[in-house]
Amino acid sequence: ADGTFLNSECPICLEDFLLKSFIYEIPCRHAIHVNCATKWFKLRGVCPLCVQSV
């Protein structure tokens, strides 16, 4: 990771971020995969790491 995001792996699928183009950056500076974000935010309106509302 280059320090852009607070976390270096996706909290949903627990895989490292490899391709930046598929990463969704949450306003709290946490990041998750775009595909994981789509599924997650349909269920919960919060960041999966810090549980701040998005």
48 near Zn ion, rule: CB under 5 A: no
Among 23, 46, 49, 54, binds Zn ion (CB under 5 A): 49
Contacts 24+ apart (CB under 8 A), 1-4: 4/31
33 near Zn ion, rule: CB under 5 A: yes
Q: Which amino acid is at 43?
A: L
Among 31, 36, 37, 40, binds Zn ion (CB under 5 A): 36
34 near Zn ion, rule: CB under 5 A: no
37 near Zn ion, rule: CB under 5 A: no
Q: Enumerate residues 6+ apart whose C-beta is below 8 A from 28.
A: 6, 47, 49, 50, 52, 54
